[in-house]
């Protein structure tokens, strides 16, 4: 009896894990796109790309930087002490991101998704 209950619980947990992962994969494309930092005289842009369905990379004038997933809407790029946090609107669409980079003392610079 205990084995059947335990097996049932494991099956239910498995279904929840698979459903959560499926939801996560569909949400990944939301991060992809071009983001613009509105500077005084020029616009700096970055591009967030999804490579091999699991690796996010940020392309900018500083070069190519791989992003490490931390939690929903939050990534790090440890080689520069950086963090990128994505913002969502009321419909849960990603509309912007904020980047902080400890190595150059940059704190929460916001870029809008184009």
111, 37 Cβ separation under 8 angstroms? yes
The predicted-structure confidence for 73-111, as pLDDT tens digits, reads as follows: 999 999 889 999 999 999 999 999 999 998 888 888 999
Computed from CA positions of residues 51, 52, 56, 57, in that sequence, does the dihedral angle turn out positive or negative? Answer: negative
The predicted-structure confidence for 11-35, as pLDDT tens digits, reads as follows: 343 333 333 443 454 478 999 999 9
How many whole angstroms from its chain centre is CA 67? 8
pTM of the model as a whole: 0.72
Architecture per CATH, domain 30-113, reads as: Beta Barrel (2.40)
Provide the β-strand partners of residue 43. Answer: 38
Question: How is the chain split into domains, by residue range?
Answer: 30-113
């Amino acid at each position: 009896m205990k084995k059947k209950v335990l097996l049932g619980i494991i099956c239910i947990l498995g279904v929840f894990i698979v459903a959560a992962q499926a939801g996560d994969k569909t949400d990944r494309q939301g991060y992809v796109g071009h983001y613009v930092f509105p500077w005084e005289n020029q616009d700096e842009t970055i591009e967030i790309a999804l490579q091999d369905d699991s690796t996010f990379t940020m392309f900018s004038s500083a070069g190519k930087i791989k992003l490490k997933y931390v939690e929903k809407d939050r990534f790090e790029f440890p080689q520069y002490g950086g963090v990128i946090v994505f913002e969502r609107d009321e419909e849960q669409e990603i509309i912007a991101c904020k980047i902080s980079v400890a190595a150059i003392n940059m704190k929460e610079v916001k870029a809008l998704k184009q």
